Structure 1
Amino acid sequence: MRLVFAGTPEVSVTALEAIVASGHDLVAVVTRPDAPAGRGRKLVASPVAEYAEKLGVEVLKPVKPSDPDFLARLREIAPDCCPVVAYGGLLPQAALDIPPHGWINLHFSVLPAWRGAAPVQHSIIAGDDVTGASTFRIVKALDAGPVYGVLTEPIGPNDTAGDLLGRLASSGAKLLVDTLDGIEAGILEAREQPAEGVSIAPKLTVEDAEIDLSAPAQRVDRLVRGCNPSPGAWTTFRGERLKVLATALTDEELPPGAIRSTKAAVTVGTGSKAIQLVTVQPQGKKPMAAADWARGVRITDDDRLGAE
């Protein structure tokens, strides 16, 4: 099949590589426009754009997928199908109607659970034991189209969103290629999603990532893992923001927000048992071991986390 791939971040590149290695004909790539990055705020191409440019494949970067020039070029290219992984743009019906086999999205959840921009993060934060990936045909409603294929993936007790997304990107890439193969062969039929079990996973904001130390330890630990690497769970210490990148559960007892520091470990009270801080990132600094941070700031008996 003639394919136009749509994707933007690094996680999309894994699927794009699998498509390039398949028997399908990649004729163009659609990605988000170059965006400012780094201290200099220079415009930088997306990971998908960089990879496609190295291949010599045409790259389309519409500001909006509804742009008439973009739609006209897509009609000229005349793809049979458009696989999508984390593109990040809202596709209008005019674009959805162009490829005969539609736009096939690889979504990192077992639909209809966790429709939206951050399914992996929300599945960890919610305490799910299992997540997965689904391929489905895009329709106007959010992640509500009929499903072609599904895989499942257990969530380990120490998995971060980054860990889980890395595994799903790899297994999901194979699922996407298998789906495209099945569509081309005419042997794969999409099935409508069940009406029950729908949950929504909106993009996580910095405000969503604030740690509530009056919550139980497991909930705090899940928030930390679900927000790693982005946006990064955080609390406050002496009036400044402190990112918490890794924690561990303990059997210790401490009041919520209270800090106990030894040479080897730093523990903080929650609404249940205390949690150990493993890796933190003070404002304006690089990530570091929590014990090193605690020695540097010289924790006192009056210090608390989360206190204004």
Structure 2
Amino acid sequence: MSRIVSSLAQISLNYDAVYCDLWGCLHNGKAAYPAAVEALQTYRRSGGRVVLMTNAPRPYPYVEAQLDRMGVPRDAWDMVVSSGDAAQDAMFAGAVGQKVWHVGTAKDDGFFNDIPPEWADAPQVTRVSLEEADGIVVTGPFDEINEAPEDYRTRFAAALERGLPLLCANPDVVVDMGETRIYCAGALAEFYEDMGGKSLYFGKPHPPIYERAHRLMNLAQNARILVIGDGINTDVKGAQQEGIDCLFVTGGLAADNFGDDVENPVGERLNEWLSLHLMQPEFSIGRLR
């Protein structure tokens, strides 16, 4: 059974660092959650280290700028590690070729234009039409408010005929932007796989993003790490696969399953739901606080 706690402080002294998800835990896509910010600040003041680990398909400076706009203070975290960072490494290493068809919006242009110093001498990656592409890079739908994966069936069928691989810059399937649920790159990548295509992933729950965080934080081999997140198939699954303890935030994507009070999940319903998903996070909490 997952132990329900009322605050991060109840368990935080048992850990040297936390890997905390953003969307659904620290903010809702529009505004930060003050209690979550305070919880991370308090943890850092006690000597803990905080990695904000996100499946955002953008390099970390863009994520930091978004946090600044939301008013998340810099003393709430030590480092941001994004799926975009890990996926960028793969793209510039040639994982899907040098000519790519980009599925996404202009807000993700930095994924292509802001080349990390370590890849400055790598062969150039150029965005081209689907007909000219060697591979596909998906950072999200073209129209994230109105489109669904099915809208891409015809274009993906054409890509399949040519055997194009797909690089997914964000394994999340959906997120809640305020009160609106939108599809992410992961939904398109899964749809492409269901059609018979090959999709490559680098964010949670896949190893590259954790390896990047471990390396950049220079954590000791025996460091005690706690993952905090609301995604059962990203945060919780990733923690389970990495052998890391997890604090599941029930008041995020799956909130409707655990009772009427988002702050206080019903234990029986929570553990039944977790069993159905074959997941067992060590701890659960309504909202990060």
Q: Could you tell me the TM-score, scaled by structure 2's length?
A: 0.33
Q: Could you tell me the TM-score, scaled by structure 1's length?
A: 0.32
More strand by share: 1
Highest Rg: 1 or 2? 1
More helix by share: 2
Per chain length, whose mean CA-contact separation is higher, i.e. which structure has more relative contact order (CA < 8 Å, sep 6+)? 2
